């Protein structure tokens, strides 16, 4: 019996050591996974559109946001979760385009991004998303429809906070997203594949798409050089709510914020935000077998 207790104690010690080591690896990867950028100078006013530059308090961290009200306060509104290595200034032109199409928008910088204080962690970004949504709903009380849009990294943040949002949005857009954070950090070269297997998959977007209960538009480019287009297919196949997958050709990963490419990338998104109808986004650039499900 003494041998059993000794063996059991050794087993528990090794298990605890493995858990501590795994958590330590996660913290190390988390520290290097985010690429923050300094604040840019562009604001929607540079494109002839009025905006409100706001500050949000996320558990003591001060986040910068840019809000553009639509000409008609009853029009649709969208909360934008931007990608990595970006700041709100990268989205000034898109906010202007949304305004021109009658859609209000709020984009915000996560902790440590742009002029926002603090540092980015999975936990902090979750808190940031909740606070941004709270402010978004307060700013757009009269809007007839509320949407969320995640781009690249922002897709993970969006899906992470979505179950905690009340009221739920009228629809979501997943743009250039990834199926799994573990796979994404390998794809962009943060860690090798063997090490990624030791990490907890804190952002399992594929699994979370199965929990989505609102209409979802998924947009991706087959030419995406960072995130393989098959990840978008997996996200679509995992979704059980009404959804549509739009695959585009010849566009880079950052097409959503690249002036020469953004019109093509945003065409189906603009149509969805304005109508709320997944069947009203046109067929240009879509897969032959795309369908509203």
| 251-276 tens-digit pLDDT | 999 999 999 999 999 999 999 999 99
As given in the structure block, the two tokens for residue 162 are: 């979505």
Q: Is residue 79 part of a domain?
A: yes
Instruction: Report strand pairing: 171-175 vs 216-221.
Output: parallel
Q: Is residue 58 part of a domain?
A: yes
Q: Is residue 292 part of a domain?
A: no
List the CATH number of the domain containing 104.
Answer: 3.40.50.1820
**For residue 158, what pLDDT is reported?**
98
**Which residues span the domain enclosing 253?**
2-280
Instruction: Report strand pairing: 61-68 vs 216-221.
Output: unpaired
State how many domains the chain has. Answer: 1
Residue 116 confidence class, pLDDT cut points 50, 70, 90: very high
Q: Is residue 220 part of a domain?
A: yes
Residues in the chain: 293
Q: Is residue 82 part of a domain?
A: yes
pTM value?
0.87
Q: Is residue 76 part of a domain?
A: yes
As given in the structure block, the two tokens for residue 139 are: 């700013």
**For residue 183, what pLDDT is reported?**
81
Nearest alpha-carbon partner for 212 in 257, 243, 179 = 243
Q: How far is CA 26 from the centre of its chain?
A: 20
Q: Is residue 78 part of a domain?
A: yes
Q: Is residue 287 part of a domain?
A: no
């Amino acid at each position: 019996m003494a041998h059993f207790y000794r063996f059991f104690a050794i087993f528990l010690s090794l298990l605890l050591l493995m858990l501590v080591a795994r958590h330590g690896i996660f913290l190390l990867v988390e520290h290097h996974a985010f690429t923050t950028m300094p604040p840019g100078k562009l604001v929607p006013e540079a494109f002839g559109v009025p905006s409100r530059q706001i500050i949000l308090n996320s558990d003591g961290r001060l986040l910068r946001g840019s809000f553009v009200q639509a000409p008609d306060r009853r029009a649709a509104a969208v909360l934008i979760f931007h990608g990595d290595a970006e700041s709100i200034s990268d989205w000034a032109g898109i906010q202007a385009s949304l305004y021109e199409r009658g859609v209000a928008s709020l984009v915000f910088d996560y902790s440590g991004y742009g002029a926002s204080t603090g540092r980015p962690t999975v936990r902090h970004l979750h808190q940031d998303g909740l606070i941004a949504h709270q402010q978004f709903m307060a700013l757009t009380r009269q809007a007839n429809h509320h949407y969320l849009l995640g781009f690249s990294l922002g897709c993970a943040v969006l899906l992470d906070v979505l179950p905690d949002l009340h009221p739920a949005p009228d629809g979501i857009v997943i743009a250039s997203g990834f199926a799994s954070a573990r796979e994404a950090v390998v794809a962009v070269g943060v860690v090798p594949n063997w090490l990624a297997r030791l990490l907890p998959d804190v952002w399992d977007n594929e699994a979370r798409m199965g929990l989505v209960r609102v209409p979802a538009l998924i947009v991706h480019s087959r030419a995406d050089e960072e995130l393989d287009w098959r990840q978008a297919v997996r996200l679509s196949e995992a979704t059980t709510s009404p959804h549509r997958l739009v695959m585009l050709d010849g566009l880079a990963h950052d097409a959503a914020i690249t002036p020469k490419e953004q019109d093509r990338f945003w065409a189906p998104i603009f149509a969805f935000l304005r109508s709320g109808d997944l069947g009203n986004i046109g067929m240009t650039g879509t897969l032959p077998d795309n369908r509203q499900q």
